[in-house]
Structure 1
Amino acid sequence: MTKIMQISDELKDWIVGALKSNVSPIALANALIKKGFDNRFAYETLYKIAGNEAIKTTEGQQIRYNYEVPEIGRKGNILFTSDKDVRVLSRNEKPFVLHLDQVLSSEECDELISLSRSRLQPSLVVDMGSGEEREGSGRTSKSMAFRLKENELVERIETRIAELTGYPAENGEGLQILNYGLGEEYKPHFDFFPPHMADASKGGQRVGTFLIYLNDVADGGETVFSKAGLSFVPKKGAAIYFHYANEQGQLDRLSVHSSVPVRKGEKWAATKWIRESNIYTATRVFKEKSKGSLIR
Structure 2
Amino acid sequence: MAHLDSPDRLAAITPSLTRLDDDDEVLDACVAEAARIAEVPIALVSVLMRGIQVFRAQRGLPPELATSRATSRAISFCTVVVQEELPLLVEDAPNDTRVPQVMVENYGIRAYVGVPVRVHGQVVGALCAVDVVPRRFCKDVVVAMKRLASRVSARLAALDAVNRAPGEPIDPEDLDTRARRLVEDARLVECALLAIEPVLAPLAAAPVPCSALSETELRADLRAAIRCYEDMTIAVQNLTAEAARVFADESEPRLARVRLEAQALEREMSEIGPMVLLARGVLTKTLGLEAACKGAKVLVGAFGFHAAALAAARRLIEAAGHAMSEVSS
Calculate the TM-score normalised by the size of structure 2. 0.26
Calculate the TM-score normalised by the size of structure 1. 0.28
Q: Which has the larger radius of gyration?
A: 2
Question: Greater strand share, 1 or 2?
Answer: 1
Question: Greater helix share, 1 or 2?
Answer: 2
